[in-house]
Chain A
């Protein structure tokens, strides 16, 4: 039973536009959420995070929004750049586990 779900396996966005990646979770005990970016043959790289007591966190072109009542978070990238093309993983901490619980990832493709 997947506790963190990324329902879009892939997303194609034009360069310069906004990319919105979505993530849903089921475990209300998660207390911290993270987004990781992964290039082929490399390990995931930490991008941005948000505590469950906040609803927004911004870092440059990246903003993460958390809607606790809907158990939903999203990552906004604006403006999108070619180097943003990668697989993005949503991850959650807590819920009784010591490790992070990951979604299956969304492959973001930025088109010129």
Chain B
């Protein structure tokens, strides 16, 4: 299967700071990338969908000004959590797909906001 990486795997930050998470498709060009969030003992929740070169589409209830998504190339998307607060602490997972095809997931980034 296709390989998707995320960086960093873990990050701890102070409340009020911004954190950037990178998602890369290593062996294919991803026309679409997705960002999910997962709280402990819960399922994955889709946050937003981004197509290369276009603005991201956010799911209902997800603040676009807080979770900034950039998908500037076919192999890289970034999620920036702005002014992070403890309630933003979660497991953030990206996935990538080529055209309308199977999604392949990254290993996830665990964010802890103190």
Do A and B pair up? The answer is no
